[in-house]
Amino acid sequence: MVTLQTWIAQNSEKLGSRYEELFLRTVLPRVPNLDLHYLQAQMSFEDLDGKRRYCDFAIAETEDLKVAIEIDGYDKTGRGQGMTRNEFLDWQRRQAGLTSQGWHVLRFANIDVRDRPDDCAEHITLLLRKLRARLEHHTKLHKRLIELTQRLEKANKENRKAIQDEVGKYGGALKQKEGAYQKEKTRRSEIEKELSEVRKLLERAEAEKTLGPSEELRLRSLEQTQRIEKLEEEGGIMKTTIWAFAIIIIAVIAAGVVLISGGLERGALQSPALNVQPPISPRVPAGASCESPIRWSEAGSHVGESMSITGPVRSITYRSQSRGQPTWINIGEDFPSSRRLELVIWGRNRASFASLLDQLSVGDVICVTGEVSSYEGRSQIELRYPGQLETG
């Protein structure tokens, strides 16, 4: 069994940053049932354009259980800024190349590897459990196990006399006989080794339990958090582009004003002064921030989107004895109404919300920002940071 220290020593030259090594030392040890035999560093692959790419880490147990892991930093080029538009498009092509080949891609920010290793490890653990528990995964492993068993039985039926007869064609030299025996022994050994690995994978898969409802919710929440972070990064790129266009438009307007003013001065001096109005700022879209939130009753129409939503608090419940120690805040309507908007704060994050929860009361109108998910017909948002919740 390969140890983590041995694996790091063997792959140290492939690590591209200190955060990648930090990921190995602080995140992976928290992932149970991870066989380092299936872990690769700087895995090579081709994107949709045939361009050679590399992925930071890859866990490939079987053809249908493949997880690619990237450790991302805001400033990869050392320019002191994030990705440009072209770099973002290149990133998208890279992502598409992995997903098109059946890889489940996880991306962890440097700061999360450093400050939230438990969350990173939990995300990997839940995804591996979900993939291992799938029926098709079990079916393929069983099929492979049968194929290898049949091959091994066939190899064992190769008797010594048949080998000697084959060697006899070359004069029956003892050295040639020994070579034939060794070749047959090696072939059986390779089959037995693969058979042993498939049995271990099958045992591990059968030991993994299907994710429960709360675990499914948690996995979706972790996946949505990654999407939000990437959308924020994409939003930064879009903001830069918008500002660039705005500056160009303002420059054109200013040039037009100068030309018009000059024409008026050369024309009738008695003409009324030109009243040039400053450009009107575009209206902030509903739900873009707590300055223009949508109502709680509209949350169900925005599943999968990051929105700012307002509504009155109907109940606050802390389940200290339940798994994950969740705090549930119902907005708009209370249990058992399925129209309610549920906010959930998991126990590991509750401390950072302590002061806000102390001040929060039933009847208060609040604004919450986060990605809307759906669970059993109800709209939900997970709160991870105090900045997601505004009162007053």
Segment 318-336, tens digit of pLDDT: 988 888 889 999 999 998 8
What pLDDT is recorded for position 240?
45
Separation of alpha carbons 23 and 69, rounded Å:
10
User: Which one is predicted more confidently, 110 or 249?
Assistant: 110
Tens of pLDDT, residue by residue over 7-39, are: 999 998 888 888 999 999 999 999 998 889 889
Separation of alpha carbons 314 and 296, rounded Å:
12
Residue 186 has pLDDT above 90, yes or no: no
What pLDDT is recorded for position 258?
56
SS3 content of the chain, % helix, strand, coil (to 5): 55, 20, 30
Separation of alpha carbons 210 and 38, rounded Å:
22
- As given in the structure block, the two tokens for residue 58 are 């890859």
Name the band, by pLDDT with cuts 50, 70 and 90, for residue 117: very high
Separation of alpha carbons 237 and 253, rounded Å:
25
Separation of alpha carbons 366 and 357, rounded Å:
12
Residue 171 has pLDDT above 70, yes or no: no
**19, 114 Cβ separation under 8 angstroms:** yes
Count, residues in the chain: 392
Separation of alpha carbons 50 and 96, rounded Å:
12
What pLDDT is recorded for position 27?
95
Residue 232 has pLDDT above 50, yes or no: no
- The model's pTM: 0.48
- As given in the structure block, the two tokens for residue 141 are 């492993």
Tens of pLDDT, residue by residue over 205-218, are: 777 767 777 887 88
Tell the burial category of 329 from Cβ atoms under 10 Å away from its Cβ (0-12, 13-18, 19+): buried
Residue with tokens 């806000």: 356
What pLDDT is recorded for position 356?
87
